[in-house]
Amino acid sequence: MASVSKQKRMAKKAAKNSSATVTKAAAESTINGKGSTTKKETNSTAATDLSLDSLKISNERTANGVLTSQTRAKDVKIEQYSLSFHGRVLIENATIELNFGRRYGLVGHNGSGKSTFLASLAAREVPIPDHIDVYLLNQEADPCDLNAIDYVIRAAKEEVARLEKEVEDLLTENDEDPSLEDLYDRIAALDESTFQARASGLLYGLGFSQDMMAKKTKDMSGGWRMRVALAKALFIRPTLLLLDEPTNHLDLEACVWLEEYLKTYNRILLLVSHSQDFLDNVCDQTIHLTEKKKLNYYGGGYSTFVKTKAELEVNQMKAYNKQQDEIAHIKKFIASAGTYANLVRQAKSKQKIIDKMEAAGLVEKVEAPSTFKFKFSDVEKLPPPVLQFDQVSFSYNGSTNPKDLLYKDLDLAVDMDSRIALVGPNGTYLLIMLLFECLIELFFYCRRR
């Protein structure tokens, strides 16, 4: 039995077909009149729809690849994929394989091209099928007069309209298209009567209070607007969700909530993060962007990837050493063959063995990853306390009203052996600024001394 959503769209299609029949009859009755301008007007409209944004081509990135997955499949597989940025090759002749229902963590050295790779996918610089919608979280919500809840709800309404239009287009082409069921389910899940409650729930999980939810986005800081953009992405649940360092602007509680939420993401998730725990708890697959500009795939989270990669490298080095010893032994025999006829024939036979090994591809030597060394020069130890706060209170407006105070009666001492972690909700880290100002004053005090 068809869902209510599907029944409504089938009825809408029947009404549309009936309307189209009447329009066609009217056009035929005025073939030499006003009806003859319809085609010209349509062409003009189509030309107008070709906006500059749709024709924009990145002059920074260059990407190419061949789509090898089925056109209407939920999975994405692109082979012979290469990506360059300002002429520098980041990925070369690799395979992109993203399966529906999987959550991928993308890892690699800083500067290897992870963020550029996500941007290339979001810009569809490779042939990603049109029915797979892509969302990249890489910028804040627009500063406007909408509050956080209304901003998310507006995005949800736009997504419903987009999905309904896609359904109409598919019904016009082929009403038996298998992807229709998924579209019906997504539209049904985006129930307008639940928009307010769901948007509030997402924002609350990301650390918004009721007062912050009612605040206009133009009055928010960049970090809070990034949270609004994240809530928007989680609400519309795109087929391919790309997250680049989603925890950067989140405090600890919001990170834990986001981690639990993304565990249940049942579409395609591809994220970049420097948090090992986050990758372990969210991802069930890991993609490694190697120093040789390849994409290697591993099952499990980051810890499993590290363990599996180490085991594979040990086995690879064993195979490499064995093969090199075999080649060295054969070459030694060839060199000692001399001019004896029977030994020359054996030497040629041995050389063919080496040629076949090289043609099939020799086992590569595992290259040690580049390492970074930091050196801190020894300094004279200062007597404790280096910094000391006694009964310190602070407010932005200088008020002593308890409601305005960010800190009250703060006692803190810092010496040369202190190792301090500051945790708490966003907006309370001004203590770092206060400490920094004290360090500057201490520096000039020491200089004066």
Phi, psi at 135, each rounded to 5°: -135, 125
The confidence score (pLDDT) of residue 427 equals 57
pLDDT of residue 53: 41
Write out the H or E segment, with its range, that includes residue 30: none
Cα angle at 150 between 147 and 152, to 5 degrees? 105
Using only C-alpha atoms, the chain has a radius of gyration, in whole angstroms, of 31
Give domain limits for the chain. 305-360, 387-448
Closest CA to 272 of 109, 99, 87, 89: 109
- Enter the DSSP assignment of 241: E
Q: How far apart are CA 434 and CA 388, in angstroms?
A: 11
Distance CA 59, CA 360 (A): 38
Pairwise CA distance, residues 260 & 96, whole Å? 27
| Predicted pLDDT of residue 426 | 64
pTM, to two decimals: 0.74
- Ramachandran region of residue 323, left (φ > 0), alpha (ψ -120 to 50) or beta? alpha
Q: What is the pLDDT of residue 439?
A: 53
Q: H or E segment at 9? A: helix 4-29
pLDDT of res. 436: 55
The pLDDT of residue 409 is: 82
Are 255 and 276 within 8 A, CB to CB? no
What was the pLDDT predicted at 20? 46
Q: What pLDDT sits at residue 425?
A: 65
Averaged pLDDT, groups of 10, the chain, 449 residues long = 51 52 41 35 35 47 92 91 93 95 94 93 91 90 92 92 87 77 86 91 93 90 89 94 91 91 95 94 95 94 94 92 90 79 80 88 83 82 79 75 77 81 64 57 43
pLDDT of residue 59: 65
In this predicted structure, what is the pLDDT of residue 332? 87
Residue of 261, 216, 218 lying closest to 243 (CA atoms): 261
Q: Which residues contact 372 (CB under 8 A, 6 or more apart)?
A: none
Separation between Cα atoms, residue 215 and residue 193, nearest integer Å: 22
Model pLDDT, residue 138 = 82
Residue with the two structure tokens 């797979």: 132
